Amino acid sequence: MLTLPLDVQSSNQYNSPFRTSWPSQLVRSVKSEICEALDDTLKSRREDRERGEQEKTMEDREVDVLEKRGAHKKKLSQSRLDRIRLRRIEANARERNRMHGLNNALDSLRKVVPCYSKTQKLSKIETLRLAKNYIWALSEILSTGKRPELLMFVQTLCKGLSQPTTNLVAGCLQLNAHSLISEPSAESFSVYTAYHHHHHHHHEPEVVGSSSACRGRPLRPYGSLSDPNKVLYSSPSPDCSNSLDGGRLSPPISFNGVFSLKHEEPVDYWSCHYALRYCSISQGSTTDLSPYDIHLRGQVYQAHEELNKPLHD
């Protein structure tokens, strides 16, 4: 198997300069070393092939084809090998760039889901899961026009997440993580953190119902959106819809419980939402609020002030 030069292998390290950009000098150096390594590899593969000890690779097959043609055997195969080598190097570079693009997109996603932190990044899979749950929760709010209780909202966010990520999300909201994961039933949430008792936030924009904001938009894939009454007690849970979690089904009670607002005490969703956002910002950059930050019903709120209120009252 090909063993890459040490400096190429080190590009795998998180703090490596290769991680963001490859200086051209380094690229040339690495390329030449890769070429040398590939030379050795291809040479040994040819030797192995002669001994019949190795399955033929693509390069081997191409070389075979060329060799069968006979003409300019040695020179042609060598130039062909050079081209093949170059193609492989370029393909690797493209693949790296492609993956970097994918990672950049994931970073963008991290910034718009709750609990963004530059220092403690969510893993890829957790980011996707949290984003899915977040979209689900927000869609449900739009479709029902009802405000979920904070704990329920966070529980929906944490559905299917790992324990550490659940702790992180809970920590963002100063909730007890145990309450998020140990109680599957909506009714059991009467024992509840003092958090939202302390943070009744009175700046409450009207919550969107089946307004123009969501009309005609396929917010969820189940066709139940058009009927909010149906949504309340028949919605599948977020986990039903995709293979990300291996098709595992979640207890329906969790989802329905989140948004049905069975509890006696009115809860301020906006505090929750702001709190989540506050948390995201306070752990990350305080300067780069994106248009995603608080942008509902065509209104952009003064983020900092609004975000700070719930947690500093």
Partner DNA sequence: TAGGCCATCTGGTCCT
Partner DNA sequence: AGGACCAGATGGCCTA
Q: In this chain, which stretch among 57-65, 212-220, 260-268, 283-291 interacts with DNA, using CB under 7 A?
A: 57-65
Q: In this chain, which stretch among 15-23, 268-276, 286-294, 304-312 interacts with DNA, using CB under 7 A?
A: 15-23
Q: Are 92 and 4 in contact (CB under 8 A)?
A: no
Nearer to DNA, 73 or 94 (CB): 94
Beta bridge partners of 296: 299
Q: How many residues does the chain have?
A: 313
Q: Is 71 in the site for DNA (CB under 7 A)?
A: no
Nearer to DNA, 67 or 204 (CB): 67
d(CA 260, CA 119): 35
Q: Is 4 in the site for DNA (CB under 7 A)?
A: yes
Pairing of strands 295-296, 299-300: antiparallel
Tell me which residues in 200-239 interact with DNA (CB under 7 A): none
Q: In this chain, which stretch among 53-61, 134-142, 239-247, 269-277 interacts with DNA, using CB under 7 A?
A: 53-61
Q: Is 162 in the site for DNA (CB under 7 A)?
A: yes
Nearest to 132 by CA among 98, 100, 97, 161: 161
Nearer to DNA, 30 or 154 (CB): 30
Q: Is 21 in the site for DNA (CB under 7 A)?
A: no
Q: In this chain, which stretch among 14-22, 74-82, 149-157, 261-269 interacts with DNA, using CB under 7 A?
A: 14-22
Q: Is 46 in the site for DNA (CB under 7 A)?
A: no
Nearest to 113 by CA among 125, 102, 101: 125
Among 88, 174, 177, 250, binds DNA (CB under 7 A): 88
d(CA 158, CA 48): 53
Minimum distance from residue 213 beta carbon to DNA (Å) = 31
Contacts of 164 (CB under 8 A, 6+ apart): none
Q: In this chain, which stretch among 56-64, 140-148, 260-268, 303-311 interacts with DNA, using CB under 7 A?
A: 56-64
State the alpha helices, DSSP H only, in 70-215: 73-112, 124-144, 150-157, 163-172, 177-181, 195-198
Q: Is 300 in the site for DNA (CB under 7 A)?
A: no
Minimum distance from residue 259 beta carbon to DNA (Å) = 28
Among 72, 73, 98, 178, binds DNA (CB under 7 A): 98
Q: Is 242 in the site for DNA (CB under 7 A)?
A: no
Nearer to DNA, 97 or 185 (CB): 97
d(CA 242, CA 240): 6
Q: Is 80 in the site for DNA (CB under 7 A)?
A: no
Residue 72 to residues 68, 69, 255, Cα–Cα distance (Å):
11, 9, 70
d(CA 184, CA 161): 14
Inter-axis angle of helices 58-69 and 73-112, nearest 10: 150
State the alpha helices, DSSP H only, in 11-57: 24-51
- Residue ranges in contact with DNA by CB under 7 A: 1-2, 4, 8-14, 16, 18-19, 34, 38, 41, 57-59, 83, 87-88, 90-96, 98-100, 103, 121, 123-126, 162
